[in-house]
């Protein structure tokens, strides 16, 4: 079955978000002129709160889906690194996009060690200034917590020196509040999209979430709030037919801006994506509780959330990442799970088999798609996704829909 993914009535705020993105590089260039530093960051534990409180402009670095950048990156970093990492090395080396030439510094945390290696490589070959935030392997132990507090303190001191600004409690507090509101708005967006007749396609959700990697965070919050208010006023999308359009949840390796291959296939085949726990999606916006406007409290808040799969936790049956995933599947009424793993993404690929067993036992059909940024596997993926969605539809028929 094929279906249109064009929404019935378009949210006008989407165009405003697209326009804001068009305007953003020039805004950042002007901020640089005024003396603000532009800090690109990668991975999972870099707190944007610190960057904002130091008057820096944060950019979440990294695009996907571009095979050419992967090839360029592979000239500098081993081909045994995931395609995302190779592609980002290519991006940072080429500097042909709108944002990379504006970067003053690259901040990286050492959760996924492939990204840590990326930082070393781009510092060596392309002379990027870098700041590295250590992440404890023993993330659940008290000594791990203490280590991360200390790491974040020295990371903050390094950035204070680099930006020439002093961290104040008042500035940290407003950054914490601003980001908490953005996370809340994004959680609402996901809840909206999990409804049967939601008026956005997942491609649009993907675009909206990723706009927050670049836009001024206060402006982004305003746009998100406007969008959420607008969505309430739009009529339901009658193109969506619950049951016929299996409710698919995405998990696994990140899907970065530009990496739309899998999303296009699922939506073109009539699957309704209703949520994800990707670190480029909902995961980054879940469960960060910061108890006080201090660096230590920030460290505790970031460390306590669902851990990145790259951190060692060998007993998958008690892994809080899987526990959270199951909670989200229930909450969003998922009918099926597609696990997207990128080539040479060991953290997620290695865990895919066990994740499948656990979710199958919990009653969720599960499909693993192992891919890269080349277009050569599109047809093979399409065939597998099509068969999987048919299976879920048949299951829905038998169950009388969920
Ligand atoms: S977690 Fe996987 S996709 Fe992400 S940077 Fe590490 S290896 Fe690459």
234-249: pLDDT as tens digits: 877 777 766 678 999 9
CA of 345 from ligand 1 middle (Å) equals: 5
State residue 196's pLDDT score: 86
The answer, as to whether pTM is greater than 0.75, is yes
Quick one: pLDDT band at residue 316, thresholds 50, 70, 90?
Answer: confident
Residue with the smallest CA separation from ligand 1 atom 7 is 345
Give the atom of ligand 1 at the shortest distance from the alpha carbon of 348.
2
Task: Dump pLDDT digits (tens) for 321-375.
Answer: 899 999 999 999 999 999 999 999 998 998 898 899 999 999 999 999 999 999 9
Give the atom of ligand 1 at the shortest distance from the alpha carbon of 82.
8
Task: Dump pLDDT digits (tens) for 104-138.
Answer: 999 999 999 999 999 999 999 999 999 999 999 88
Residue with the smallest CA separation from ligand 1 atom 2 is 345
CA of 342 from ligand 1 middle (Å) equals: 8
Cα-only R_g, the chain: 21
Mutate-to-test residue for ligand 1 from 342, 352, 370, highest number of ligand atoms within 8 A of CB: 342
Instruction: List all residues whose CB is within 6 A of at least one atom of ligand 1.
Output: 82, 84-85, 112, 114-115, 253-254, 310, 342, 345, 347-348
Nearest to 41 by CA among 23, 26, 21, 57: 57
Residue with the smallest CA separation from ligand 1 atom 6 is 112
CB 61 within 8 A of CB 41: yes
Give the atom of ligand 1 at the shortest distance from the alpha carbon of 115.
5
CA of 1 from ligand 1 middle (Å) equals: 33
CA of 347 from ligand 1 middle (Å) equals: 7
């Amino acid at each position: 079955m094929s279906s249109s993914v064009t929404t019935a009535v378009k949210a006008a705020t989407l165009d405003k978000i697209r326009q804001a993105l068009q305007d953003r590089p020039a805004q950042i260039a002007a901020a640089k002129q005024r003396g603000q530093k532009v800090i690109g960051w990668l991975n999972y534990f870099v707190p944007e709160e610190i960057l904002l409180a130091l008057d820096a402009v944060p950019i979440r670095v990294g695009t996907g889906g571009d095979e050419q950048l992967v090839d360029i990156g592979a000239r500098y970093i081993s081909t045994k690194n995931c395609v995302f990492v190779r592609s980002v090395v290519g991006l940072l080396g080429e500097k042909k996009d709108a944002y990379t030439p504006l970067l003053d510094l690259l901040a990286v945390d050492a959760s996924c060690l492939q990204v840590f290696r990326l930082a070393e490589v781009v510092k060596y070959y392309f002379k990027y200034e870098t700041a590295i935030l250590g992440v404890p392997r023993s993330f659940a132990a008290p000594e791990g917590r203490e280590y991360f507090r200390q790491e974040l303190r020295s990371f903050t001191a390094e950035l204070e020196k680099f930006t020439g600004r002093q961290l104040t409690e008042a500035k940290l507090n407003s950054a914490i509040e601003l980001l908490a509101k953005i996370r809340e708005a994004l959680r609402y967006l996901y809840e909206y999209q999990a409804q049967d007749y939601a008026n956005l396609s997942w491609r649009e959700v993907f675009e909206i979430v990723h706009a927050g990697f670049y836009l001024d965070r206060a402006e982004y919050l305003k746009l998100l709030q406007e969008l959420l208010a607008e969505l309430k006023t739009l009529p339901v999308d009658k193109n969506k037919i619950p049951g016929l359009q299996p409710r698919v949840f995405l998990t696994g390796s990140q899907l970065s801006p530009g990496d739309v291959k899998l999303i296009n296939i699922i939506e073109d085949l009539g699957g309704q994506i209703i949520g994800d726990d990707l670190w480029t999606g909902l995961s980054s916006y879940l469960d960060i509780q910061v108890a006080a406007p201090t660096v230590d409290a920030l460290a505790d808040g970031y460390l306590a959330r669902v851990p990145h799969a790259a951190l060692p936790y060998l007993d998958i049956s008690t892994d809080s990442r899987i526990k959270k995933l199951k909670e989200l599947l229930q909450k969003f009424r998922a009918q099926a799970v597609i696990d997207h793993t990128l080539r040479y993404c060991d953290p997620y690929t290695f865990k895919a088999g066990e994740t499948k067993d656990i979710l199958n036992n919990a009653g969720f059909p599960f499909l693993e798609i192992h891919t890269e940024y080349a277009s050569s596997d599109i047809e093979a993926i399409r065939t597998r996704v099509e068969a999987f969605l048919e299976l879920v539809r048949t299951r829905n028929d038998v169950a009388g829909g969920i």
